[in-house]
């Protein structure tokens, strides 16, 4: 039963990580597995690699050592969670691409509802709600706002226009060009994909900071989504390697902070979750660049049409799901 729950939680985290503005870390925090996840990843060390390689010696003591190491790093939990997340990403990559392009507002409305009520869960985990804790909350909210305002609507529009112009130039000059320094370009591309993986996975496990939104800003979001749907192994391999390195390094920092300053760190994480609501507000001004709709700054709808009604319904559905989860969890604890 616990395995099925962890599989479902992994799927929720996977879905959240696909959507720009929604944080997988937020979902992990809401689902009550954030600390366990960070702790398990932090425990992965060189000993894990050594004990795995020793399996090829085909000795009984090597197998026992491997079993002990897998228990130490909570490998079964990580495997089930990872399977759920990866399955959701592969299965829903095309669907989420469609929803984000054709049902943007209701999709974001649903996740806005999820995140709005979900902030209750991590806030309850803070043991002593002191002044430093609330200061940490305010600093985190301010940080998310600063990130949001650092990338203005004009900047996003300019990026989209540049991308569209580049696409047009590429399609017009599709006749084979001499492959000058082609190998060097490929190496630089894979290094950049590695960098994207390391940066985005660090953001993905940080509540309130969306790894996919960061990918979108850095220009790699649609390339990674396309690589998932087309099974582009070289692109996915470079990106995944960056993810592995990034997550192993970043979780060590988080684990240290949670052990040293638990309440203040949790307060900061709560602030990130609250701040993320600004980034996933469903109603935004738009601009059309070629065939692509670019979503810019937040706005309040001037009138309520079918789209706005559907968005509110999706928001209510997301809120109800979290409310039910919180009630079930409270009863289980009692």
**Structural domain contains residue 229:** yes
Going from the C-alpha of 287 to that of each of 30, 220, 276, the distances in angstroms are 34, 20, 23
Return the structure tokens found at 155: 């900047």
* Residue 224 to residue 163: CA distance in whole angstroms: 16
**Structural domain contains residue 175:** no
* Tally of domains in the chain: 1
What domain range is 204 assigned to? 2-167+182-333
In degrees rounded to 5, what are phi and psi of residue 293? -90, 125
pLDDT tens digit sequence for 222-266: 678 778 777 888 888 888 898 888 888 887 887 788 788 888 988
Helix orientation angle between 211-218 and 182-204, rounded to the nearest 10 degrees: 150
Q: Which residues partner with 284 through β-bridges?
A: 298
pLDDT tens digit sequence for 45-104: 888 888 888 888 788 888 888 889 899 988 899 899 989 988 888 887 778 777 877 888
Which range is least confidently modeled, 20-24, 70-74, 281-285, 304-308?
20-24
* Residue 208 to residue 25: CA distance in whole angstroms: 7
* Residue 48 to residue 53: CA distance in whole angstroms: 9
Q: Which residues partner with 292 through β-bridges?
A: 289
**Structural domain contains residue 38:** yes
**Structural domain contains residue 84:** yes
- C-beta separation of 24 from 212 below 8 A: no
* Residue 204 to residue 18: CA distance in whole angstroms: 10
**Structural domain contains residue 172:** no
Return the structure tokens found at 51: 């004990």
**Structural domain contains residue 177:** no
**Structural domain contains residue 46:** yes
* Residue 276 to residue 128: CA distance in whole angstroms: 24
Q: How confident is the model at residue 116 (pLDDT cuts 50, 70, 90)?
A: confident
- Residue bearing tokens 């079918």: 306
Model pTM score: 0.59
Helix orientation angle between 60-72 and 75-102, rounded to the nearest 10 degrees: 50
**Structural domain contains residue 255:** yes
């Amino acid at each position: 039963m616990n395995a099925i729950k962890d599989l479902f939680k992994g799927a929720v985290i996977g879905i959240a990580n696909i959507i720009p503005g929604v944080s997988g870390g937020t979902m992990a925090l809401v689902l009550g597995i954030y600390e366990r996840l960070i702790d398990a990843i932090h425990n992965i060390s060189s000993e894990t690699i050594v004990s795995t390689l020793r399996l090829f010696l085909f000795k009984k003591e090597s197998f026992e050592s491997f079993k002990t190491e897998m228990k130490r790093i909570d490998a079964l939990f990580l495997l089930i969670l990872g399977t759920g997340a990866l399955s959701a990403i592969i299965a829903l990559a095309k669907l989420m691409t469609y929803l984000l392009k054709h049902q943007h507002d209701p999709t974001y409305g649903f996740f806005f509802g999820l995140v709005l009520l979900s902030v209750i869960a991590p806030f309850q985990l803070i043991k002593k709600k002191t002044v430093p804790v609330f200061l940490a909350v305010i600093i985190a909210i301010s940080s998310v706002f600063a990130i949001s305002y650092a990338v203005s609507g004009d900047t996003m529009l300019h990026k989209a226009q540049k991308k569209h112009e580049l696409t047009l130039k590429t399609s017009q000059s599709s006749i084979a060009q001499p492959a000058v320094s082609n190998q060097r370009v490929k190496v630089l591309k894979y290094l950049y994909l590695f960098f994207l993986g390391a940066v985005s996975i660090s953001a993905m496990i940080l509540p309130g900071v969306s790894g996919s939104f960061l990918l979108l800003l850095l220009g790699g979001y649609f390339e990674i989504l396309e690589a998932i749907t087309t099974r582009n192994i070289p692109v996915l391999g470079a990106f995944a390697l960056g993810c592995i390195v990034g997550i192993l390094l970043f979780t060590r920092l988080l684990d240290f902070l949670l052990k040293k300053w638990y309440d203040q760190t949790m307060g900061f994480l709560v602030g990130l979750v609250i701040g993320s609501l600004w980034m996933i507000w469903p109603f935004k001004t738009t601009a059309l660049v070629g065939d692509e709709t670019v979503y810019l700054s937040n706005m309040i709808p001037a009138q309520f049409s079918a789209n706005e009604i559907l968005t509110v319904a999706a928001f209510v559905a997301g809120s109800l799901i979290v409310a039910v989860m919180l009630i079930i969890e409270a009863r289980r604890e009692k």
